[in-house]
Amino acid sequence: MTLATLLQAAPDRPFVAAALLAAGLVLATAVGAGVRSARTRPPFPRDAAPLALAALVGALAWHEAAHAPGGADAPAWARDALRLAPWAPLVLLALARGPLLAAVPAVAFARLALPDGLADVAALHGVLAVTAAGWWALRPPPATHRAVAPVALLVGAGVATASVGWAARVASDGHPPRVGDLAALVARPGVALAIGLAVLLLAAPAPTWWRAAAGPASTDPGSTRAASGGAGELARTGAPWGRDAAARLPWPAARRRRGARRLTPPPDPGPLRRG
């Protein structure tokens, strides 16, 4: 199904129109969140272009392997799993570097690999899943906890399936939306297998691996500490946030710190000596 066919069904089916509107809002929110985050907004670090190219090449390689001769004879569950596998490198890039950087190779992959290019409904489905997963992984990032990346993957896949996937199902079948249709989209053996394996693989890396994958230019205030200046401030002031730490604390804690500093008595000069 193409996006044109889906848009033509929107005036007669309010659910399709609402699902497409929700998908557009999620895409706009993910892009806006990526722009506001100092960790993921442009200008990107120097290694961003090689990483995006590597994710695109990996996705195209998975796509070619899935469509190799003899793939049509594979079981239905295997074809479903192989159809989702090419998006895995793009999701990994979105989790590590944010939705903005991952959106570029995701759009390029949809343009090069899908039968109808960007006009295919699968293109919107995949790009939405990638950007939504990257958006969810902004706060908190995967470097803080091992469970962030698997949950972000589930959120991205769930948002894309519940909006674009369900709308395409309603538009193609011609009947009102039913919860059973959404359950049928998720419960297919190949889809469940692909999502389950991806969740297990994303739960394996430790937060230190995600911290290294985020790159050296992480200056987001929501991260554990800015990569530039953190160690220097710790050595100069004894606090990882610098001299103005009290100003950035919640006001009761800052007030207590200032009060304790004012009430500290001066050092005892010791006994006075006559000359």
> pLDDT at position 243, please?
41
- Residue 139 CA: distances (Å) to CA of 33, 48, 201, 221, 259: 10, 20, 21, 11, 33
> pLDDT at position 12, please?
87
Segments of the chain with pLDDT less than 70? 69-73, 216-275
Residues 250, 256, 259, 265, CA torsion sign: negative
The answer to whether residues 110 and 118 touch, using CB atoms and an 8 Å cutoff, is: yes
Q: Which long-range contacts (CB under 8 A, 24 or more apart) does 202-206 make?
A: 202/92, 202/95, 202/149, 202/150, 202/153, 203/146, 203/147, 203/149, 203/150, 205/142, 205/146, 205/149, 206/146
> pLDDT at position 44, please?
87
> pLDDT at position 244, please?
43
Cα–Cα distance, 108 to 114 (Å, whole number) = 10
pLDDT in tens, 63-94: 888 777 555 667 777 878 888 889 999 999 99
